[in-house]
A and B are shown apart, each in its own frame.
Chain A
């Protein structure tokens, strides 16, 4: 038995050897829990603890805790902070008041994607979460844009000072609530608050990357280990389990959330990735606006991201070609077995004329066409009943 395609969710892991990979403060905790580690985005991270499917189900049915210490964070502060972020990110901060957050995208002037980000509106600054493998690139890009802008604000890379954990699942809020006095159920979806958690000032966002309710926690980096341990203790009765990157990928795929390097790259625009809802053409100028607007006014991009379910036997994987009637029309950006649906699903970037819900695709699996059907996305949507304080 030899591996033909391994660890298909990053595309970067093979570029970094385990020896040079960075470790989060929780590395020893992962080892103690028996995690299997892999290089991911320049970091040595847990891919699974007990098993990807079991961990996936724990998040859908109870709660899971994720070490996201590989993710980057930046803070933009000063009088022009908002104006600056408005000029470099595609979404519109005017859509959200203080105390909320939004998904947004950094584009090149060409419309290609530097990174997809989350912007949290804090009372005194904008706090931004960045993808692990892009952190250096993003901060350099923001600094370069800041220099040309001449705006009165500062862009700080906080990645070495701020830790990040996520607690996700229908019981996630109840778990975290035991360590804080702030009423988490009163926090709206995408809400953000700075409050003591486990006795330590922490940025708490009602955000996540799983399709479930839950929070992302940003404590000072030196307090991450203690917070992780306390959460596992208080969460035990609710079935809280540590979750690796393997289940993080299957969870986000079912929820159709983009993974940088797959659905978005320097060569893929947000419009192609079906993220036009996060591109605000009606606000003032931003980097990439002209290029994206030209595409939009010309009738939209020539290729689109679509979701599909396999009809024939086979598992779609990233980079597999996609055909219609024997003609190559695109490729799979992400794919795999979806534990909640017990089906094989994927996302593909295909020629516009073949895109459409219900329309067929052939996924080329080991040079053989295997039938798939385009379906409505997200593939999985959580039951609304579990959601309180929905914005």
Chain B
């Protein structure tokens, strides 16, 4: 399963990409594969503040409903509204078109608690 080296990963299977103080967040290839065909994504409103570990959305496959959490604290500055009509992006391109939200990170130390690609690959191997 693909785990891009430049990303950081949570134990709840979210990924984080940092560009300066902006974090882009989505769910991992492992997560979308476990869920199966994704048919619905519910995203939050721009401007909302999130604590680290706070739920921000819901992703539903044909067979399951899952909450998605923000691994970092901060304010939501953008959401991927394309997922409302094309939730399959999360299956087809979880690290690219399947991104979910962008957050202006208020405390970058939360990133230290996340796994790098090797650690996450090991975490999902068993």
Interface pair A314/B40, CB less than 8 Å apart: yes
Cβ of A336 under 8 Å from chain B: yes
Interface residues of A in 322-361 (CB under 8 A from B): 336-337, 339, 344
Cβ of B67 under 8 Å from chain A: yes
A47 to B42, CA, bound (A): 25
A268 to B39, CA, bound (A): 30
| Contact partners of A250 in chain B: CB under 8 A | 62
A3 to B59, CA, bound (A): 9
Q: Interface residue count for A (Cβ, 8 Å)? A: 26
Interface pair A4/B62, CB less than 8 Å apart: no
Cβ of B13 under 8 Å from chain A: yes
Which residue on A lies nearest to B27, using beta carbons? A1
Cβ of A313 under 8 Å from chain B: yes
Per-residue CB proximity of B58-78 to A under 8 Å, as 1/0? 111111111111000000000
| Contact partners of B27 in chain A: CB under 8 A | 1
Which residue on A lies nearest to B10, using beta carbons? A1
A7 to B66, CA, bound (A): 11
A317 CB, nearest partner CB in chain B, Å: 6
Interface pair B37/A7, CB less than 8 Å apart: no
Interface pair B65/A1, CB less than 8 Å apart: no
Known: A1-B12, A1-B13, A1-B31. A337 touches B69 (CB 8 A): no
Cβ of A21 under 8 Å from chain B: no
Cβ of A11 under 8 Å from chain B: no
A250 to B84, CA, bound (A): 21
| Contact partners of A8 in chain B: CB under 8 A | 63-65
A315 to B65, CA, bound (A): 9
- Candidates A1, A47, A339, A366; contact of B63 at CB < 8 Å: A47
| Contact partners of A36 in chain B: CB under 8 A | 36
B31 CB, nearest partner CB in chain A, Å: 5
Known: A1-B31, A1-B67, A1-B69. A52 touches B40 (CB 8 A): no
A33 CB, nearest partner CB in chain B, Å: 16
Interface pair A315/B60, CB less than 8 Å apart: yes
Interface pair A51/B37, CB less than 8 Å apart: yes
Interface pair A1/B62, CB less than 8 Å apart: no
A2 to B53, CA, bound (A): 12
Per-residue CB proximity of A303-324 to B under 8 Å, as 1/0? 0000000000111010000000
| Contact partners of B84 in chain A: CB under 8 A | 313
Per-residue CB proximity of A231-274 to B under 8 Å, as 1/0? 00000000000000010001000000000000000000000000
Which residue on A lies nearest to B60, using beta carbons? A315
Interface pair B67/A52, CB less than 8 Å apart: no
A151 to B45, CA, bound (A): 68
Interface pair A1/B59, CB less than 8 Å apart: yes
Interface pair A7/B62, CB less than 8 Å apart: no
B55 CB, nearest partner CB in chain A, Å: 9
- Candidates B14, B58, B59, B62; contact of A337 at CB < 8 Å: B62
Interface pair A337/B39, CB less than 8 Å apart: yes
| Contact partners of A6 in chain B: CB under 8 A | 63-65
Interface pair A52/B31, CB less than 8 Å apart: no
Interface pair B40/A1, CB less than 8 Å apart: no
Cβ of A374 under 8 Å from chain B: no
Per-residue CB proximity of B17-60 to A under 8 Å, as 1/0? 00000000001000100001101101000000000000000111
| Contact partners of B12 in chain A: CB under 8 A | 1-2
Which residue on A lies nearest to B87, using beta carbons? A337
| Contact partners of A344 in chain B: CB under 8 A | 40
Cβ of A48 under 8 Å from chain B: yes
Which residue on B lies nearest to A36, using beta carbons? B36
Per-residue CB proximity of A1-22 to B under 8 Å, as 1/0? 1111111110000000000000
A280 CB, nearest partner CB in chain B, Å: 36
Cβ of A291 under 8 Å from chain B: no
Interface pair A1/B66, CB less than 8 Å apart: yes
A308 CB, nearest partner CB in chain B, Å: 17
B24 CB, nearest partner CB in chain A, Å: 16
A208 to B31, CA, bound (A): 33
| Contact partners of A336 in chain B: CB under 8 A | 62-63
Interface pair A246/B62, CB less than 8 Å apart: yes
Top 9 A-B residue pairs of the complex, sorted by shortest distance between their CB atoms: A5-B65, A337-B39, A52-B62, A53-B37, A6-B64, A1-B13, A4-B65, A1-B66, A3-B66
Besides A4-B58, A53-B37, 4 more A-B contacts (Cβ < 8 Å) are A2-B12, A4-B65, A250-B62, A336-B62
Interface CB pairs A-B, < 8 A, 14: A1-B12, A1-B67, A2-B69, A4-B58, A5-B64, A5-B65, A8-B63, A51-B36, A53-B39, A246-B63, A313-B84, A315-B65, A336-B62, A339-B62
